[in-house]
């Protein structure tokens, strides 16, 4: 099996967290990035070649994170990955050239019978081998992964499926068009396993007809036109598309059951290794129900929060219900509640940052907070 990892969708409701990084490299669960989850699922399924598509100008954090691919074992003799820019495909299309050729070349060279497509928006740990078994059993062109979720876990651009009792897809809706009043809906997770030969011929035909350059969109449109099977995913899922869903996903990590379901399933989650020192808790630290990565110094009160690598939380501070990304410095007497502090944020002594559960305050990367927010 070979894999295509699409990372070109932009979600403005995640700003400023995605100001200068794609959703794929958004930090999550203290020491991971969103892309670690699909990438780990891919390598855990013994897929040894990955084709990744990113937007122009958004690749710095990607290269910084993935590097040579060592942590995902993508730097071996038999294991490889490729990074391509979405805009290059667009340019070819604008020049009326065959814009899918590079991808087709990759698919052909991989000599894989099957191809899996994933994106970084669905925070989950899926066993692609199990999906593959279903795909092989039904032997259809395409197998679509979905999960039954509540309304708040669906965003306007998502696809929702109507599924018959025999597992066949009867209809595909755009979430914003669907007037569903049920408690649960079948969220299309945009994880597809397809026959590679079929995909190649569809791409060839598609580029003749000016089909969409966005492969995720391309595949979605095919769900209904070919024989598709479905796979219902039952593990942990967070659909991350705005600040609230990101906040909820992070807070889920403080729930042991959800955390274990994501982190301690049969599959390991790989991330960039950092050589950090242990986290130190001083005599004045008071920590409850919180999660920490290494490299931090904790001298204040931390509750219901996630603290990433290399943070310093000074004495007499309060960090409650918040997400602290790497290298934050929270100085003496500061008080933070319902906030998301992006990387390298400094909070001056005595400053109060207060959001609400419904509307957490987001402090952008590198900000130096000198006044109350």
Partner 1 sequence: MILAGGKGTRLGKLTQKIAKPAVPFGGRYRIIDFTLSNCANSGIRNVGVITQYQPLALNNHIGNGASWGLNGINSGVTILQPYSSSEGGKWFDGTAHAIYQNIAYIDEMDPEYILVLSGDHIYKMDYEEMLEIHKKNDASLTVAVIEVPMKEASRFGIMNTDENDRIIEFQEKPENPKNNLASMGIYIFNWQQLRSVLLNSYSKDDQMLDFGKHVIPSYLDSGENVFVYRFAGYWKDVGTIDSLWEANMEFIDPSMNLDIRDKNWRVYSKNTISPPHFLTEAASVKESLIVDGCYVAGEIERSILSNDVQVKEGTTIRDSFIMPGATIGKNVTINRAIIGENAVVGDNTVIDGTEEIGVVGDSETIGVTIDED
Give the one residue of 95, 96, 165, 256 binding partner 1; rule: CB under 8 A: 256
289 binds partner 1 (CB under 8 A): yes
Q: Which stretch binds partner 1 (CB under 8 A): 28-36, 213-221, 231-239, 343-351?
A: 28-36
Q: Considering only residues 285, 316, 344, 352, which one is a binding residue for partner 1 as defined by CB under 8 A?
A: 285
Shortest distance, position 235 Cβ to partner 1, whole Å: 16
Element (DSSP H or E) covering residue 38: helix 36-44
* Strand (E) or helix (H) holding 185: strand 184-195
Give the shortest CB-346-to-partner 1 separation in angstroms: 18
Instruction: Return the number of the residue (208 or 282) whose C-beta is nearest partner 1.
Output: 282
- Of 97-105, 200-208, 290-298, 354-362, the window that binds partner 1 (rule: CB under 8 A) is 290-298
Q: How far is the CB of 239 from partner 1 (least distance, A)?
A: 21
- 3-class SS of residue 198: helix
Binding status of residue 317 toward partner 1 by CB under 8 A: no
Does 281 interact with partner 1 (rule: CB under 8 A)? yes
Q: How far is the CB of 234 from partner 1 (least distance, A)?
A: 21
Among 1, 8, 23, 30, binds partner 1 (CB under 8 A): 30
Angle between helices 128-138 and 36-44 (to 10 degrees): 60
**Count of CA atoms in the C-beta half-sphere (13 A) of 79:** 17
CB 342 within 8 A of CB 16: yes
Cα three-residue angle 237-243-249, rounded to 5 degrees: 25
Omega before 62 within 30 of 0, i.e. cis:
no
Is 63 within 8 Å of 16 (Cβ atoms)? Answer: no
DSSP one-letter code for 6: E
> Which residues ranging from 31 to 90 are in contact with partner 1 (CB under 8 A)?
31
Residue from 96, 266, 275, 371 touching partner 1 (CB under 8 A): that is: 275
Q: List the structure tokens of 342.
A: 């992006």
| Tokens 């590198």 -> residue | 366
Q: What DSSP state is assigned to residue 106?
A: H
| Residue 273 binding partner 1, by CB under 8 A | yes
Contact 22, 7 (CB under 8 A): yes
Q: Is 258 in the site for partner 1 (CB under 8 A)?
A: no
Interaction between residue 274 and partner 1 (CB under 8 A): yes
Residue 364 burial (CB count, 10 A): 15
Decide: is 279 part of the binding site for partner 1 (CB under 8 A).
yes
Give the CA angle between residues 315, 371, 357 to the nearest 5°. Answer: 75
Count residues near partner 1 (CB under 8 A).
34
When asked if residue 306 is in the footprint of partner 1 (CB under 8 A), the reply is yes
Q: Pick the binder of partner 1 from 95, 165, 278, 371 (CB under 8 A).
A: 278
Whether the CB-CB separation of 320 and 304 falls below 8 Å is answered with yes
- The nearer residue to partner 1, 85 or 297, going by C-beta atoms, is 297
The residues pairing with 302 across neighbouring beta strands, listed in sequence order, are: 287, 319
At its nearest, how many Å lie between partner 1 and the CB of residue 25?
18
Q: Which token pair is 134?
A: 């279903």
Positions that interact with partner 1 (CB under 8 A): 29-31, 254, 256, 259, 263-264, 268-271, 273-275, 277-283, 285-294, 297, 306
């Amino acid at each position: 099996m070979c894999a295509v990892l699409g990372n070109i969708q932009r979600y403005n409701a995640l700003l400023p967290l995605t100001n200068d990084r794609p959703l794929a490299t958004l930090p999550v669960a203290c020491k991971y990035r969103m892309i670690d989850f699909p990438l780990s699922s891919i390598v855990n399924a013994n897929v040894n070649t990955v084709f990744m598509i990113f937007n122009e100008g958004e690749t710095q954090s990607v290269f910084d994170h993935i590097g040579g691919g060592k942590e995902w074992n993508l730097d071996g003799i038999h294991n490889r990955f490729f990074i391509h820019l979405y805009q290059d495909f667009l340019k070819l299309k604008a020049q009326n050239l065959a814009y899918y050729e590079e991808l087709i070349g990759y698919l052909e060279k991989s000599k894989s019978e099957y191809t899996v497509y994933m994106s970084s928006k669905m925070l989950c740990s899926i066993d692609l081998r199990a999906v593959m078994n279903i795909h092989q059993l039904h032997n259809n062109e395409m197998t679509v992964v979905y999960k039954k979720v509540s309304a708040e876990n669906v965003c306007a651009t998502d696809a929702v499926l109507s599924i018959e009792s025999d597992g066949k897809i009867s209809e595909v809706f755009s979430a914003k068009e669907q007037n569903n009043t049920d408690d649960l809906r079948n969220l299309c997770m945009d994880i597809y396993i397809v026959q590679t030969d079929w995909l190649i011929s569809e791409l060839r035909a598609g580029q003749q007809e000016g089909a969409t350059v966005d492969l995720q969109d391309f595949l979605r449109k095919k769900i209904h036109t070919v024989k598709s099977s479905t796979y219902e995913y039952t593990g942990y899922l967070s659909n991350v598309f705005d600040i609230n869903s990101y906040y909820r996903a992070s807070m889920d990590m403080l729930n042991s059951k959800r955390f274990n379901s994501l982190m301690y399933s049969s599959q390991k989650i790989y991330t960039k290794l950092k050589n950090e020192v242990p986290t130190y808790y001083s005599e004045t630290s008071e920590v409850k129900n919180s999660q920490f990565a290494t490299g931090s110094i904790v001298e204040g009160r931390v509750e219901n929060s996630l603290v990433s690598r290399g943070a310093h939380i000074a004495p007499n501070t309060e960090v409650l219900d918040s997400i602290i990304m790497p290298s934050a410095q929270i100085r003496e007497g500061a008080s933070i509640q319902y906030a998301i502090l992006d990387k390298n944020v400094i909070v001056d002594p005595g400053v109060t940052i207060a959001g609400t559960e419904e509307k957490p305050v987001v402090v952008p990367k590198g900000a130096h907070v000198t006044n109350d927010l």
